[in-house]
Amino acid sequence: MRYAIDTNILVYAEGFDDAAKQALAKTLVRDLPYGDTFVSINVLGELFNVLVRRGLTRAEAQAAAERWRTSFTLCETSEALMFAAIDLAAGHALSIWDALILAAAAEAGCGLLLSEDFQDGFVWNGVTVANPFQSPPHPLLAGALSR
């Protein structure tokens, strides 16, 4: 199975907010399979913005985005992907940026998107959204973590 990661997972993995969520996020980014874990380009842009708002310098936020860029397979944004996201956002009352993350995950053939920004278990175009901080974890996530 292929996995996609939302911005909030990377923010926690960078050491921000709740300590328990930080620990789980760090475990996730360490244990998910390297070649089968994807991050969309806009996630890296969102990460940069969030880290700067949280007090990192622009150079520190840039370095963090670069680290994650080389840690996962990237999903490029295209015209077709943007319009798929617009359709998704319009049809499901999502923000365009969340819709773009989900559309990129679907285009990359991911079966699971890890995010706390969607309803846990939401499915679109073959991608199931799992909130990794919810207990018990979604069965697809539990299966991935038990390997």
pLDDT for 147 beyond 70: no
- Residue range 21-72, pLDDT digits in tens: 999 999 999 989 889 999 999 999 999 999 999 999 999 999 999 999 999 9
- Residue range 83-114, pLDDT digits in tens: 999 999 999 999 999 999 999 999 999 999 99
How many angstroms from the chain centroid is the CA of residue 107? 14
List the domain boundaries for the chain.
3-145
pTM assigned to the model? 0.92
**The one-letter amino acid at 17:** D
Q: Around 130, how many Cα atoms within 13 Å sit in the side-chain half-sphere?
A: 24
Mean pLDDT, rounded, for 105-132: 94
Residue 146: band (very low, low, confident or very high) from pLDDT cuts 50, 70, 90: low
- Closest among 47, 74, 72, 71 to 61, alpha carbons compared: 47
| CATH (residue range 3-145) | 3.40.50.1010
Helix (H) or strand (E) holding 82: helix 79-92
